[in-house]
Amino acid sequence: MNPNAALERQLDAYRRMTGEERLAIALRLHELSCELAREGIRQQHPAASAAEVERLLQERLRLARELGS
């Protein structure tokens, strides 16, 4: 299967889902991306507490929102 056919197949699967199912996927992807960002922060700041990691994550998210608008 070529990439375009695979994409169409995936889009068809999403179209068959309910809004709730699509939202659940989006929320899982968001949490996964946040966990990856947390891990990157921990690697950059090994001595950071859990609270500091969350603060830095929130700062990154804020900056991303500002850059996106």
Per-residue pLDDT tens over the stretch 7-16: 999 999 999 9
Q: What value does the mean pLDDT take over residues 15-31?
A: 97
- How many percent of the chain have pLDDT more than 90? 96
Structure tokens at 43: 């690697």
pLDDT at 17 over 80: yes
pLDDT at position 68, please? Answer: 87
Q: What value does the mean pLDDT take over residues 16-24?
A: 97
pLDDT at position 34, please? Answer: 96
Listed in sequence order, the residues at least 6 apart from 38 whose beta carbon sits closer than 8 Å to its beta carbon are 53, 54, 57
Distances (CA, A) of 52 to 19, 36, 45, 57, 66: 35, 16, 9, 8, 21
